[in-house]
Structure 1
Amino acid sequence: MSHKRIPKRKAAIAVGSVAALGAAALLLPHANASQSNGDDAAPRTFKATDVSGVANMLATQLGDAFAGSYYDAAKKQLVINVVGNNSNVVNQIEQAGAVAHQVQNSTSALQAAAKTLKADATIPGTAWAVDPKTNQIQVTADSTVTGGKWNTVESTVKNLGSGVATLKKSSGTFKTFVDGGDAIFGGNVRCSLGFNVTAGDGTPAFLTAGHCGVAAAKWSDSQTGASIATVDQATFPGNGDFALVKYDDPATQTNSAVNVGNGQSVQINQAVDAAVGQQVFRMGSTTGLHNGNVTGLDATVNYPEGTVTGLIQTDVCAEAGDSGGSLFTQDGGAVGLTSGGSGDCTAGGETFFQPVTTALAAVGATLGAGDAGAGAGAADPSASAGAGGAADPSASAGGAADPSAGASDAAGAGDQAGGAADQSGAAGDQSGAAGDQSGAGMNDGSGMVSATP
């Protein structure tokens, strides 16, 4: 297979071939614009990227009365869960433009339930996260959790009490998605580049999944090419799934954009916290562009390799090779790095992501080339796609990315740090050598959620 090499002094975030025109068409300018109706005490409309700041402020102000929050995407409103019927608490919420919603379970009660699950139900193939929409813990068991294991999980959930947690069965298996955004290769492992960053010492680097970082120390932009980057820090399993990989050439110039195909890209301008109910987009070298919603926060996933905490749970699909790839918002917010999950992009499933904000803080890096850190403002939604704005909805999903944007050639599973792979290329072909899951030594798609080197 031939592969297009990254220009020595320039690396752009490449995120695989575009596989979903429907997802691309949703990347519209002007969507989710924040507005005010002029009445400070009435519900406001928010951009999804703005709600975490307001929710965090109210969490501090309300103390024990605060029981979580979520984003109502249909109404573009922030909903704050509260325990009790304190009029002062409700007033504070309404003055902030949010909507108060009375619930049964306090934050401390749900945290205590999560500790019980950790102690009594830490079984490979299980996962749980708080779902503020239902004010319960959502527990998922994959297809490997059967017999006595299933009975243990089921009885643990039941013993938490009525209305505290729900249990559902997943038809797939939890595994890491080794393979990924712009394809990157470390030995026999294939992953995806997440976001370009500037390391704490000022050198260029990128973020990817931690299980990729522990699988190989050296990474290339082609399956048989020379190393272009070296792992500096990696966490997996444990408190997260992220790795900082530094470019070997300190003169490498990195772009902060996600290529969504046809020469179109979304400029990444800030790192943002996820909010339940928020619409998100995922790009990966195996399956291209897909969208969905955040369904849970602070998720715990029990992979075969070990337990990972602090993840984002979503209903976005992913497959092997998508690990480490970028999760982002329509208006340029970097949200997460693909970790693992169950299912595929035919049947669907759950996918978990490492929060970008947590990863940046842990490794001491800033988003982009050093001039667009985590606190930078959102992209101008009116910006054109060619300048880093939202993708043009009229663009065809089937067309190849503009080669001048650093896209990989048709045969090359995806330029490591360049543009997206050509739709007609081998990046999405799981029968190809680069995308062959057996070559990565990982579980096949029939299994439970797993990490995706």
Structure 2
Amino acid sequence: MPKRKAAIAVGGVAALGAAALLLPNANASQDKDQASGTTGTAKTLKATQASNLAAQLQKALGGAFAGSYFDSGKQQLVVNVVSGDNNVIQQAKKAGAVVRQVKNSTSDLKAAAGTLKAKATIPGTSWAVDPRTDKVLVTADSTVTGAKWNRLQSTVQSLGSGMATLKKSAGSFKTFVAGGDAIFAQTQQGGVRCSLGFNVTASDGSPAFLTAGHCGVAAKDWSDSQNGQPIATVDQAKFPGNDFSLVKYNDKTTQTSSTVNAGNGQTVQITQAADATVGETVFRMGSTTGLHNGQVTGLDATVNFASETVPGGTDTVNGLIQTNVCAEAGDSGGSLFTQDGSAVGLTSGGSGDCTNGGETFFQPVTAALQATGATLGNGGNAGNGAGDQSGSAAPSASAGDQSGAADPSASAGDQSGAGGDQIGGSADPSASASDQSGSGSDQSGAGSANDGSSLTSTR
């Protein structure tokens, strides 16, 4: 019997032909910039290289380390330090980072987040450390009003000046499960739709895929077509707390792929899992809105969703990646990745839409791989931190899971910079089940990033 080829495209693309992902050009220049105020030359880095360097410096600097972020414009790693010890500063500079002395230590910022958790766990709120401001960024959606807003505001003020900032979001925080066409399930309440994140191999060798935890909690059996027969069954699902599911294909001979369908017959191979870095450009693929990009704005984010199962309750998810990439209902579980093919996250939820923008949060892929014991594609590495993985990918991998992070061998100019250079939904009909109706919107984000990105919109 011939092996069954997986009909689900990684990323669950929705509509035909609106966007193209052009593969990176050959090496661009890597001119080194002299870091302002430093005695050494800061290295020009790809985002993945910056993530690796940040992890090394965090260990080396110990308590003096107060976070880091990637300056996508200068292609440099900026490291915050709270110690005036010249040896510490020189150590970071010699490693190639830009060093910035700040007031708030990592422990200070974590303590502030702990206070918010204890006193202001309110549905419709979130908080994450923003190393660019050296503060905790607290966000309240449109449902946080009256006494709830007063409580949140007073808690932020109690943290002291210079410790946190509070902003309002126009939308409301919600998980992005709703009708659409990537992976489907039937529940007592009706049909639901999510997006496939990344194909993986389960710890027992079974073919499987990752998607959002709240999708796996909502339904156990999933199909690749609306009202179709189930082809995969939830093996593990974590929500709230975390937000990931491992779903095993029912046919053990299913051939999965580890690429992303970028449209127009182009695919990008997913080669590794990587931790996100604040400031790097990332791309999200989802079944409703297709391909969009933006920047990582915070790490270790806590989001308090209004519970959909417990009236008046709160579903809190921790350890998320915060971004300014848009998403909409049905994009849940979809892939967040970098342009060089690093798997970064699974779409969890957020506020806003792809017309007005908003915040979107993602479950880190590395954490999901570690928790489930799964490996990328047909046998990569489980997540062990940024850049440490060499996860091998199936040659038939599906497109759309690429991310703005960088391959160490790639040039600085191959990365796309910050900004809303968003590309509307696209699909290869052979990639994401030809029996699915495309509902993706061909939306082009406001503004374009003139940054040497090879991601372009073809309208």
Q: Where on the TM-score scale, by shorter chain, does this alignment land: which range?
A: 0.7 to 0.9
Matches within 5 A, 1:404-423: 405-409=430-434, 412-413=436-437
DSSP-derived class of the 1:338 partner: strand
Matched, 1:215 2:218: yes
Q: How many residues align?
A: 399
Aligned to 1:302: 304
% identical equivalent positions: 64
Amino acid at match of 1:225: G
Tell me the CA shift for residue 189 of structure 1: 1.2
CA offset digits 1:138-160 (Å, max 9, x no partner): 00000000000000000000110
Aligned to 1:444: none
Going from structure 1 to structure 2, the CA distance change for 1:165 and 1:18 (only over 3 Å counts) comes to: farther
DSSP-derived class of the 1:190 partner: strand
Decide whether the 8 Å contact of 1:256 with 1:367 is kept in 2: yes
Decide whether the 8 Å contact of 2:182 with 2:432 is kept in 1: no
| Distance across 2 between alignment mates of 1:339 and 1:211 | 8
Matched, 1:347 2:356: yes
Work out which of the residue numbers 253, 258, 261 in structure 1 matches 2:260: 258
DSSP-derived class of the 2:177 partner: strand
Residues 348-357 or 55-64, more deviating: 55-64
Aligned to 1:78: 77
Decide whether the 8 Å contact of 2:14 with 2:425 is kept in 1: no
Decide whether the 8 Å contact of 2:16 with 2:427 is kept in 1: no
5+ long unaligned stretches in structure 1:
1-6, 380-384, 414-424, 430-453
Decide whether the 8 Å contact of 1:184 with 1:191 is kept in 2: yes
Decide whether the 8 Å contact of 2:272 with 2:380 is kept in 1: no
| Distance across 1 between alignment mates of 2:118 and 2:150 | 15
DSSP-derived class of the 1:178 partner: coil
Aligned to 1:237: 240
Decide whether the 8 Å contact of 1:15 with 1:258 is kept in 2: no
Matched, 1:132 2:128: no
CA offset digits 1:251-299 (Å, max 9, x no partner): 1111101112111121100000000000000000100100000000000
Work out which of the residue numbers 357, 367, 373 in structure 1 matches 2:366: 357
| Distance across 1 between alignment mates of 2:86 and 2:59 | 17
CA offset digits 1:207-251 (Å, max 9, x no partner): 00000000001100011111110001111001x100000010111
Aligned to 2:409: none
| Distance across 1 between alignment mates of 2:70 and 2:12 | 27
CA offset digits 1:107-147 (Å, max 9, x no partner): 00000000000000000000000000000000000000000
Going from structure 1 to structure 2, the CA distance change for 1:389 and 1:315 (only over 3 Å counts) comes to: closer
DSSP-derived class of the 1:294 partner: strand
Matched, 1:367 2:376: yes
Tell me the CA shift for residue 407 of structure 1: 3.8
DSSP-derived class of the 2:247 partner: strand
Matched, 1:9 2:5: yes
DSSP-derived class of the 1:154 partner: helix
Going from structure 1 to structure 2, the CA distance change for 1:378 and 1:8 (only over 3 Å counts) comes to: closer
Aligned to 1:28: 24
Tell me the CA shift for residue 179 of structure 1: 4.0
| Distance across 1 between alignment mates of 2:28 and 2:255 | 32
CA-atom RMSD, angstroms? 3.1
5+ long unaligned stretches in structure 2:
308-314, 393-397, 405-413, 415-422, 443-459
| Distance across 2 between alignment mates of 1:37 and 1:16 | 39
Matches within 5 A, 1:170-181: 170-179=169-178
Decide whether the 8 Å contact of 1:180 with 1:284 is kept in 2: no
Matched, 1:196 2:221: no
Residues 301-310 or 178-187, more deviating: 178-187
| Distance across 2 between alignment mates of 1:352 and 1:208 | 14
TM-score normalised by length of structure 1: 0.81
| Distance across 2 between alignment mates of 1:131 and 1:321 | 28
DSSP-derived class of the 1:74 partner: coil
Residues 291-300 or 44-53, more deviating: 44-53
Decide whether the 8 Å contact of 2:179 with 2:330 is kept in 1: yes
Matches within 5 A, 1:18-167: 24=20, 28-30=24-26, 41-167=40-166
Matches within 5 A, 1:244-283: 244-283=246-285
Decide whether the 8 Å contact of 1:269 with 1:372 is kept in 2: no
Aligned to 1:441: none
Aligned to 1:318: 327
Going from structure 1 to structure 2, the CA distance change for 1:412 and 1:267 (only over 3 Å counts) comes to: same
CA offset digits 1:22-45 (Å, max 9, x no partner): x85686335788787899942111
Going from structure 1 to structure 2, the CA distance change for 1:285 and 1:361 (only over 3 Å counts) comes to: same
Tell me the CA shift for residue 53 of structure 1: 1.6
